[in-house]
Structures are given as C-alpha cells and as structure tokens.
Structure 1
C-alpha cells in the first residue's frame, strides 16, 4: 500500500517523462521566425561576466544567435548578477514579479524559497556528472510543479565544474578535515562537512580569497574552475579531485509571460534552451578537469581557466574518502534534506532519485 501511495504521488507530480531527456529535447529550433511583433527579453544569468558559462554559452546564444536566427524579431538584454548588484538568492522573486523574464541561479541558493530544489544536487550524492545530469532532469517536473506557486518555471538545468576542497595546508584524505574551518554554501554541504568533522563557516565568494590568505578559513569549497579563476592557488596549496557537488543551477522564466508568448516564439526559445543544455553540461564536464589542471600548473592541459603562477598539489580521492562521503549522505545529508523539505520529499527521492543514485532515504 505504501508503494502504491508513492507511485500515485509521482504520477500526480507528472513524472512520466523519460529519465535523462533534457528539457526542451523534443523542441527543434526553426531556421527562422516568421514576421511578427518584436520582443525584447530581459535576462539575468551567471554570477560574473567573466565565467565561461556566460562568455561561451549565454552571450553566443542569448545575446547573438537568438537575434540573428529570429531575423531581429527577438532581442535579449543580458546581464549578470554582479552587474545588477545581486547576491543570487533574489532570482526567484525577480522572475516571479516580472522584473526579469529569464533568470538563472544555483539551486542550493534558491532552495530557501523552494526546498525541493536542494534535492536536485545534494552534496556527496554522486561524483559522476552523467548521473548528476540524470538526477537533475528526472526531478525537473517535480520542481516545476512546486514552482507554479511562484509563477515560475525551470526551462534548463546545468552544472558548474565539480565543487571540491581547496586547502591552505597539506592534507592526504578527508579524514584530515577534522577541526578545520571550511567555507561552505547550502544546507546539504554544511551537513556533509559537519559529518566528516570539519567546521563549516559561511563566507561570500568574493571574500573567500582574503579569508584563506588570513587563515580565517583553512579550506573552502567551490568549483575547480571558479577557484582557479579567482586565483585561489595563490592562497592555497592543495586541491582535492573528489566532487562534493556540482552546484547545479537553472534558468527559469516567468510562467505568465511564458504562457502568453506566441507558440512559435515559445518553440523557438525551447529550441535555443535545448542547444544550450547540451553545451552547458559538456562545459561543466570539461571545465572540471581543466580547473584542476590549471591549478596544478599543467600548462598543456589548461585551456579554459587561467594557469596558476604557483602550482598546487592535487590530492587524489581514496576509496576511504568515497566511503566516508557515502556514509555521510546516508546518515546526515539525506535525513537533513527530508527534515527541511518534508516527508513527501523523502518519498519523491526514493521513487525518482534512488534508482539512479543507488542511495535510498531511510526514515
């Protein structure tokens, strides 16, 4: 009977879509749009204008290709969080109110408004980016059911490079994190760091460099490429290769605006998002290793991020590290997520995510 109720819940939430099918995958962008009213779209996407996700995907697709392929019918006023003086946690509210038509932000940041979003990228759940993508896309219909209350809809999910540890002192394994002050973000990463014996501290990304330099933080978690770009190798010595999460983010639209669009325009945008989807997941994968290679001074493999002037030491994950993370997910991270989100989220996790991740929530 319990299984029947769970299946009924999943059916109610519209989870009939095949796992792994990217958002808008069925949409084919027309070669051009027929003549019609011009549309100006306001979009705020990445945190910084220097990030590869912005320079290599958002600008070429949203600012340039969309206008060219629509014969000038669609134009996008594109900006970043930094340019709008945003911290990132305002994205749902900005899109909901119609102040922007398209907004993007990391799901762990947005989960304060919509707790189910945190379940898409739980810390430690999977070190494999392919599985991370399948989980994200499988939970997308659930998230959009919740987001209807906020007059918003996710149209695209994507990862940043793997989120890993940068430390200012040597370490050989995660066991060495006991007692260290570690910069974290998001509830599930706090749970993970607590479980492995670290002391989580909250520091905004722009302040992390100086916190590491002064010893306010012993270690910090961020994307491999983000740390390389922010010159963290200048103030840290060792970098882990173990992904603790993927900082999965999403592009969302104002639902009323989206539904009012001319169906041809909406299909045109869906086709654009489908192309961007594949590009962003491929970039997240490539940028993960590139960020490490750039940080350790491997010049011949450093293609995306700046090469560190002071090379770091790469710390390879051991089987003991992986086992420690798996145990933390089972004992702390998953229960913490369900406590914040509600028992219903535990049922959804077991029905949708557990078959992919190989980890089941146990009440």
Structure 2
C-alpha cells in the first residue's frame, strides 16, 4: 500500500529522525524477486526488512497461510482480530529463520471480477478463475471452478483474451490495473484479505540502538493502524470506482466502463462457511501438519467460530 508505506518509510522516518535514520525501499520487481525468496533474504541479512503477502511467505513458514484462509474472515474487523492473535504464534516459527514479523496489514477485500454475468458463486462452476495461494485454489475448486495460476501483471491480457473467465484480487487493485476494461461483473463478497506483513532480520534488529528500535516500533505501529484504516475504506471505494459511482470514488480511479456489482447472497455466505469448514481448513491442516490444526483451534477458532477437525 504505497499510500502508507512510501510516505512513512521513505519520508517520515528520515524527517522525524532528523536524517539520522534512512530506509532504502525497493519493490520486488526492481529486485527481480517473486516474493517467495523473502524469508531467506531476510534470514541471510541481504535485506534487513522485507514485506510480502503471508500466502507468498507461507512456502517457508506454512502456518502463515492459516491467518488468511479463504472464507475465514467475512469482514475486516474479524481479519484484524485473527492477525493480532496469531502474531506471537507465527513469530515463534519465523524466529527459527532469524526473522520476526513486526506488523500484519490488509489489502482491500479480495473479490471476484468476471468477463460474463453471474448472480452468485454457484454460477462460477466450470469457469476458469485466476487465483493465488493454496486456500483460494481449494476454495474455488470446491465450487466446481477451474483455478488458474497467473502472475498479477499478466491477468489483464488473460481476461482480455479469454484465457480466464474470472480473476480474484483486491477491489482497488483490480481497478488500478484497469480490470473494468476487460470484465463486466464484480462480487462484493470478501473471500480473503491478502494479508501481508513486514518482517525484520532479528540479529540486525537486536544490534540497533534501543532508541532506534523504539522509534521504528512506533513507526511500524502507526503504519499498521493506517493500513487497516485504508484497507477498510479502500474496499468499498474500489467497488464504487469499479461500478462508476463517482460521488463515492475518492481513493482509486473512476472506471470509464462501469461494472455491475453482484451483491452477496445468503446462500453465498453459507457456502463460504461450508467450504471453509469442509475443504479449505482440512486442506490447510493437511499441508501444514497436525500442530497447525491445534494452533488454529486454540487461537483462531474462538474468533472465527470454526474448528479444524469439526
């Protein structure tokens, strides 16, 4: 979320510290990274600080996938409570790699964009849907759709050419990537939140002067608060911009080809829950191991109301 990250890390850190602390920012693309290498780069000290989505980092730390499973958090408040509760747990696993998550933050709600009309998730059966991460593959597969893995920069052309029928991304991310030019219908039902995190190399962090650590901790906390606020506001704003609601489109760019918003039905919400329980959660435990199921039941189940193993 460049509206938060860049101003804080590139500008405010230097300004507030009187120029004594500077953060050099590089995007994954600038460093020719896919994101999956990030835990190892931070572990080795090639990067002092790294940021990526939890699903991308979960290849090295599988329990991270459980924080943002498809269907787990129907609203951003629930997503935030789960993220906060899981931070100490995932850090126990990350610190084996010499890394530590400082904050977890959301992108706007991850929703479905399609090239052809649909009125409910049941209509997605048989359609090819661009997904990312294991739990979204499980989720859409359970609806009878065909999950397809395509990198985000290639999705526009894949939708344009009909290589895929639908794709999932953040409400605002799709608008920013001009998906309304190549799709017609957008669901307003959050499937997940593409939760991401900032992590640090623990050895580097511990070597910092205590005053610098305290300063950076405060900066990260402020960033986190702003990112959760923005994730909430940007979710509805992305939808309004996509459907051409100019009066409410304030954060993203108004679509020149207004889409049709597909309201979530009671059946969709019930199906979301059922697929989480019967397919997504068992798939996560199978990939991550029995301990992950136990952690889920201890930490996440009291918040989400869903238990691994029934």
**Normalization by structure 2: what TM-score?**
0.99
Q: 2:175 — aligned with what?
A: 228
Q: 2:100 — aligned with what?
A: 153
d(CA) in 2 for partners of 1:81 and 1:290? 26
> Does 2:126 align with 1:179?
yes
Q: CA RMSD in A?
A: 0.8
Q: 1:202 — aligned with what?
A: 149
d(CA) in 1 for partners of 2:153 and 2:7? 26
Give the secondary structure class of the aligned counterpart of 2:136: helix
d(CA) in 2 for partners of 1:80 and 1:321? 36
> Of 186, 197, 201, which aligns to 1:239?
186
Q: 1:305 — aligned with what?
A: 252
d(CA) in 2 for partners of 1:327 and 1:210? 33
Q: 1:44 — aligned with what?
A: none
Q: 1:319 — aligned with what?
A: 266
> Does 2:236 align with 1:271?
no
> Of 212, 215, 219, which aligns to 2:159?
212
Q: 1:37 — aligned with what?
A: none
Q: 2:48 — aligned with what?
A: 101
Deviations 1:325-360 (A, max 9, x none): 100000010000001111011111011000101111
Q: 2:112 — aligned with what?
A: 165
d(CA) in 2 for partners of 1:329 and 1:178? 17
**Normalization by structure 1: what TM-score?**
0.84
Deviations 1:141-192 (A, max 9, x none): 1110001111100001000000000000000000001000000000001000
d(CA) in 2 for partners of 1:124 and 1:196? 13
Q: 1:334 — aligned with what?
A: 281
Deviations 1:43-87 (A, max 9, x none): xxxxxxxxxx11x21121111111111111101111211222222
Give the secondary structure class of the aligned counterpart of 2:269: helix
Q: 1:92 — aligned with what?
A: 39
d(CA) in 1 for partners of 2:36 and 2:256? 33
Computing the radius of gyration over CA atoms, which structure comes out larger, 1 or 2? 1
Give the secondary structure class of the aligned counterpart of 2:23: strand
d(CA) in 1 for partners of 2:37 and 2:229? 27
> Does 2:301 align with 1:358?
no
Deviations 1:91-149 (A, max 9, x none): 11211111111110000111011000001100111111001001011011111000111
Q: 2:15 — aligned with what?
A: 68
Q: 2:90 — aligned with what?
A: 143
d(CA) in 2 for partners of 1:357 and 1:326? 10
Deviations 1:230-272 (A, max 9, x none): 0000000000000000000000000110111111110110010
Give the secondary structure class of the aligned counterpart of 1:86: coil
Moved over 3 A (4+): none
Q: 1:80 — aligned with what?
A: 27
Comparing 315-324 with 301-310, which one deviates more in the overlay?
301-310
Give the secondary structure class of the aligned counterpart of 1:74: coil
Q: Which runs of 5+ in 1 are unaligned?
A: 1-52
